[in-house]
Amino acid sequence: MTPLRAILRLRSPLGTPLAGDTLFGQLCHAVREMLGEEKLEALLDGYTAGSPWLVVSDGFPSGYLPRPTVAAALQANSEEDPKKRKEAKGKRWIPHSQIAQPLRQLLSSAVSDEEVYGKQSRPIQAAAFHNTLNRLTGTTGTGEFAPYTQSQIFYQRDQRMDLWCVLDEDRLPRETLHQLLEYIGSVGYGRDASIGLGKFAVEQIEEAALFKQTHPNANAYWTLAPCSPQGQGFKTSRSYWQVLTRFGRHGGTLALGTNPFKQPLLLAATGAIFAPANNMVQTSFIGNGLTKVSLMQTAAVHQGYAPVLGICMEASV
């Protein structure tokens, strides 16, 4: 498995945040449409048995990673007043240059959205108005034709985002992954792609040297996407995560059916820390491939894997 870094350049607002498990699902649809159903089935062979063909991270501002999720007592400023702890929570990005630091130093290097994007260029989530026209009258109206709002995430022009992928190049060349991402970027990612949201360009895909730059005494995994860690042998007393409930939706023609929703899933949110109960194993991903996620499409799977970096939890933690 090869760790890769894809650099995306956003070309429109997003209707759906760049989430690794959501993007993986859309990549599977792209494989079906571009390479055929048989190719998708071949790639998914062994997916739920610990052998994924691809693991995708969330999208992060270029040059930064998500702040690890840990208890306040583990942070360097845990004894400070509540105002300073609240301010620290707003610092949710770790520069790439700091990832080899032990946990407390790593957390103290976190920066805020303003420092990452600039004071005038932070992403803004705002409601956008939409109209649905009655083709018989040429106007809006009531019921399904009433004007409505949907939230959108607005970034600065040409905002660059890092996407971390762990790819089995024996099953799919990275050049093909580049083409799949370009396809998604052209048709749009996530909600309301049909009206122009979720467009991006793929500037390059390169080997991710970042995965080799972590602390030499790393003893825990730092996740870069939502994941399902059950049955992985982690020590719960030294692991930290927030619970995420994922309410998935089908894509393609099933999205237009009578039941476009998948089964709800409980996942560990991005930025979780998982400490192995035994020796640390060198790996670029953890988690499980999830099945039985859809009543309408029994063969559907969900990415419960996440790319990981090693992180050093001090012995006193």
> In whole angstroms, what is the distance from residue 132 CA to residue 146 CA?
7
Tokens of 305: 């894997």
| 316, pLDDT greater than 50 | no
Q: What's CA 118's distance to the chain center, in Å?
A: 23
Cα–chain center distance at 162: 10
| 137 pLDDT higher than 70 | yes
| pLDDT of the residue at 253 | 64
Query: What is the spatial order of strands in the sheet that 2-10 belongs to?
Result: 54-61, 160-167, 2-10, 200-207
Residue 193 tokens, joined = 């792609």
Residue-wise pLDDT tens digits, 44-100:
999 999 999 999 999 999 999 999 998 766 665 555 666 666 677 788 999 999 999
Report which of 210, 188, 196 is spatially closest to residue 22, judged by C-alpha positions: 188
First to last CA, the chain: 32
